[in-house]
Structure 1
Amino acid sequence: MLVGATTFTVTRWSLLDQLDRELVEVAQTATSSVAADYADMGGLSAGLLAASNGLLAVVGADGTVEQLPGQDRDLPPGNEEIKVARLQVGSSARTIEGNGVTYRAVAVPMRLNDGTPVAVMFARPMSGLESTLGSLWVVLLIAGGLGVLTATLAALWTARAVLAPVRRLSQAVKSVTQTDELNPIRIYGRDDLGELTQLFNTMLRSLAQSREQQRQLIADAGHELRTPLTSMRTNVELLLADDSTGMLPPGARTEVLGDVAAQLGEFSALVGDLVALTRDDHLQRPHELVDLADVTVAAIERAKRRGPGIEFDAKLEPTPIMGDPSTLERAITNLLDNAVKFSPQDGTIRIHLSEGSLVIIDEGPGIDEADLPNVFDRFYRSDKARNTPGTGLGLAIVAHTAEVHGGSVKADNEPGAGARFTLRLPVLEPLDDPFLI
């Protein structure tokens, strides 16, 4: 609309300027005739000017006016025309109203034969100009309205196109909230919204993976917990039955109580591993400066109590790291317990710590090649380990501890020996190492 108003104003000014030039030219042409025969107005008549609807008058410097004989209306002089008559320079132009008709009037200077200064005033109706401007205004209004409508539709379409990914993202969030289904969203571009959609899909995949792991953990935990609970319940029912019937032979009751105690220990260990693994999945303890060698020594002392006949050959170098001592000791203890479990009673477990790499080698039967990729999975038990005590979570805790400390753990076989586990953790730079002072 602003462009239309500007266009209308400029066009009106241009048409008025053109009309004024034409009127001035006519007035200047009339001055030569009027100056030669002022008494008869140079032979001009109202009928002669009627074709152009023109009006003519001569204005004196004192404000007197001489109208052209025969005109149907008079031209009223104003200060502009009197000024032109007095100064005899330039010209004037103004709009006047007369009998409901709008005129455009100009005045040019002229001197009579006796030297009297006057001004010739000529006017013409502005009906043609007003008609043209009216038509132009209608056209501009229509064009402006169409322009506004087109711009509005284009803006709405653009906004709809731009906000479509946002609506899809919002709909996806609403769908996840209402249906609990983690379906990814289609990516339509590589702009910021496309990147946001991609990040949202990554979040959905992570949630889906976490949910599946949680579901699997619950299923596996339920299965693993059911076995010791069933066995313990059977033994307890047997003891209750023996109280009333005395059905057990001498010494059998003690054996059953021993089995119950062992099952309680297995049950407690499984619950402890589940709690530790679940807690570490959600809350990472703050890390502090520790020497991995000291943590390994503490873990070896615990492992010796589980394998009194086994020799531990340890070669440990000072290894400063940032970590949680309790979780690291638990992870190393799990590795040593695994080595004790599969080592012969008089075997040797070799432990070597150097440059952030802890290697534990036992003298057991080793790990089958088919089992190597799965030994760190939760509740995974190889055929060799199915009849051995354990919860199936020890090595999973080791893998998770290594991950949260920015390290890794690997299982393979040592030629001429048994299984070899390698735990690697990032070591602090020497300048930050207080153990080297």
Structure 2
Amino acid sequence: MGSWWIRISRAINRLASGQSLQWRLAFLTGLSVALSVILVGGATYTVARWSLLDQLDNELTAVAQDLATTVATNIETMGGLTSGTLETSNGLMSLVRADGVVSQMPGQSVDLLAGPEEISIARLRAGSSARDVYEGGVVYRAVAVPLTTSEGHYAVMFARPTTALESTLASLWLVLLTAGLLGVVTTTTAALWTARAVLAPVRRLSLAVKAVTQTDQLNPIRIYGRDDLGELTQSFNTMLKSLQQSREQQRQLIADAGHELRTPLTSMRTNVELLVADDKSGMLPEGARSEVLGDVAAQLGEFSALVGDLVALTRDDHLQRPHEFLDLAEVTDSAIARARRRGPNINFAVSMESTPVMGDPSTLERAITNLLDNAVKFSPSDGTIKVDLRDGTLTIVDAGPGIDEDDLPNIFDRFYRSDKARNTPGTGLGLSIVAHTAKAHGGSVKAGNEPGGGARFTFRIPVAEIPEEFRD
């Protein structure tokens, strides 16, 4: 039984999974209704048959008792009863003695044979029995009631054809089958229409996805309601908008990177061509060749720094490294040590307190190093850079000329370089990396000018609670 049920389930699953969602809903609805119709129809038929059969048995038992009263007047002649007496009811009667001898009613064309049930009724002299009897190719419903006389113990057996009962049950079966089929067809059609109407937004969403795939156009989809499908459409539009922004940022990054890479590549190509020409003709004066090689080395360094910043910026845009518990003061101290090597004569006025945060130490150190390198770049060789860290806020103030007010809104844009920075080494990506790092850590960075002179950068990230394992 279990294996057959598994096979049927798999067949239904294969049939349903090969269709569209609309047809699957209609199919499953029709299948559910069909099963319900079968169960209800079967139960109705069974109850109706039992009720009609019980009614027939009661009727036959009443007739058999009346016949028993008549037969008791004269056992030999069966009370004068003949087949013509029961002709209107098309009934059969026989008298069963306790020893199993059966006497048929005179003139009866079909013999009504007794069975163990009737013999038991005669011997026990109580109760009644009812069963189906097959005689002459006809199904009879036979009952037996006890009869006790001075001549012995008997059972009066009376039977009547079940033709009327079977005809009624056949009509009932036809009605149930017709009504069930109409119900299944009507319900399946209604389910198909309902599924078509309900799934219309899903089809529009599917067509929109296909349009995005085929045309590469990220156009938003019209929202037709505020239900779950409307929320799904809104989420899909949000995804399209994010994808469009990401695509624009990617295009802008590629365009800006191409523009910035072109300058060092052009300069390197010119210098290399000059060296090749000098190798053939010796056109450069003494010492000029070394200067050209120095320029090539410097341009290679600039090119490598630009590629490194591009890789770091792309990584920060698309990858989120797992954050860990750390002390921002330790990360800042490591960044200051690197900055001291790049500005050996610059003084660092450092004031820091322990600041627990959740973050990625490598990206945070790179961002702080970029801020310090920017401060070293614009500070005089004997200047002082102030570094202050408290309450999750890192403030760096350099000793340079400050930032023009016109440049402040764009200072964190990719490849943006102010007029003062165009003649200084750099890629124009350092502050952009700082901004993206701050955003990835749930913080912010701002640029401004110190009242006494110099640029001021404020880098903030949320302070974290110290986990139990790190507490003393």
TM-score (norm 1): 0.79
> How far did residue 60 of structure 1 move?
2.4
Aligned to 1:93: 130
Q: Mean alpha-carbon deviation: is it higher for 357-366 or for 277-286?
A: 277-286
**Where does residue 231 of structure 1 map in the other structure?**
267
Could you tell me which residue of structure 1 aligns to residue 65 of structure 2?
A: 28
Alignment of 1:236-255 (within 5 A): 236-237=272-273
Q: Output the amino acid matched with 1:52.
A: S
Partner of 1:105: 142
Q: Is residue 84 of structure 2 the alignment partner of residue 42 of structure 1?
A: no
**Pairwise CA RMSD:** 4.2
Q: 1:415 to 1:155 in 2, by over 3 A?
A: same
Q: 1:381: Cα distance to partner?
A: 2.2
Aligned partner of 1:424: which letter? R
Amino acid at match of 1:72: S
Alpha-carbon separation, structure 1, partners of 2:191 and 2:209: 27
2:447 to 379, 391, 411: 411
Aligned counterparts of 2:283 and 2:111: Cα–Cα separation in 1? 144
1:362 pairs with 2:398:
yes
What pairs up with 1:364-379 in 2 under 5 angstroms? 364-379=400-415
1:18 paired residue number: 55
CA shift in 2, pair 1:243/1:38, >3 Å: closer
**2:430 — aligned with what?**
394
Return the alpha-carbon distance in structure 1 between the equivalents of residues 233 and 444 of structure 2.
32
Give the match's secondary structure for 2:106: coil
Instruction: Report SS of the residue matched to 2:343.
Output: helix
**CA distance in structure 1 between the partners assigned to 2:468 and 2:102 by the alignment:** 109
SS at match of 2:425: coil
Instruction: Give the whole-Å Cα distance in 2 for the aligned partners of 1:56 and 1:248.
Output: 141
- Where does residue 3 of structure 1 map in the other structure? 40
CA drift of 1:26 comes to: 1.2
Residue 151 of structure 1, CA deviation: 6.3
Match of 2:103 in 1: 66
1:352 corresponds in structure 2 to: 388
Q: Which amino acid aligns with 1:270?
A: L
What's the CA shift for 1:293?
A: 4.7
- Larger deviation: 225-234 or 17-26? 225-234
Residues 61-210 of structure 1: pairs in structure 2 closer than 5 A: 61-112=98-149, 114-147=150-183, 149=185, 206-210=242-246
TM-superposed CA distance for 1:429, in Å, is: 5.0
Q: What is the CA–CA distance in structure 1 between the aligned matches of 2:410 and 2:357, rounded to whole Å?
A: 28
- The 3 A distance-change label for structure 1 pair 422 and 433 is farther
Distance in 1 separating the partners of 2:107 and 2:45: 37
2: CA distance, partners of 1:194 / 1:277? 36
1:239-265: CA deviations, max 9, x gaps?
A: 656677787789877776665555444
CA deviation map 1:223-244 (0-9, x unaligned): 0011222234344545656677
2:343 counterpart residue number: 304
The Cα of 1:297 is off from its aligned counterpart by 3.1
Q: Decide whether aligned partners of structure 1 residues 66 and 239 sit closer, same or farther in structure 2, where only a CA change above 3 A counts.
A: closer
Counterpart residue number, 2:334: 295
| Contact residue 406 and residue 425 of structure 1 kept, 8 A | yes
In structure 2, how many angstroms separate the alpha carbons of the residues matched to 1:170 and 1:186?
13
Change (3 A) 1:415 1:63: same
Give the number of aligned pairs. 431
Q: Distance in 2 between matches of 1:130 and 1:323?
A: 84
| Deviation digits for residues 280-327 of structure 1 (CA, Å, limit 9, x no counterpart) | 55484886845145224314413424xx4x554333345465666654
Q: C-alpha distance in 2, partners of 1:432/1:57?
A: 99
Q: Could you say what secondary structure the match of 1:21 adopts?
A: helix
Q: Please tell me whether the aligned partners of residues 335 and 372 of structure 2 are also in contact (alpha carbons under 8 angstroms).
A: no
Aligned to 2:4: none
389-398 vs 133-142, which deviates more? 133-142
Could you give the per-residue CA deviations for residues 338-388 of structure 1, whole angstroms, max 9, x where no partner exists?
A: 234444666543222223322112344433445434322211223443444
Query: Which one-letter code corresponds to 2:445 in the other structure?
Result: V
After alignment, is 161-170 or 264-273 more displaced?
Answer: 161-170
2:180 & 2:322 partners in 1: Cα distance?
A: 68
- The secondary structure found in structure 2 opposite 1:70 is coil
8 A contact 1:320–1:433 mirrored in 2: no
**Could you tell which deviates more after superposition, 274-283 or 356-365?**
274-283
Partner of 1:315: 351
Q: Describe the shift of the 1:82–1:300 C-alpha distance in structure 2 as closer, same or farther (beyond 3 A).
A: closer
Find the aligned partners of 2:294 and 2:104 in 1 and give their Cα distance: 140
In structure 2, what is the Cα distance between the partners aligned to 1:184 and 1:407? 31
Structure 1 CA distance for aligned equivalents of residues 409 and 87 of structure 2: 111
Residue type at the aligned position of 1:294: D
Distance of aligned partners of 1:272 and 1:96 in 2 relative to their CA distance in 1, 3 Å threshold: closer
Identical pairs, percent: 69
Assess if the C-alpha contact under 8 Å between 1:292 and 1:318 holds in 2.
no
**Residues 302, 333 of structure 1: 8 Å contact kept:** no
Letter of the 1:266 partner, please give it: E
Which is further off, 102-111 or 345-354? 345-354
Letter of the 2:110 counterpart: R
Following superposition, the deviation at residue 90 of structure 1 comes to 1.4
Structure 2 gaps, min length 5: 1-37
Structure of higher CA gyration radius: 1
Deviation larger for 193-202 or 86-95: 193-202
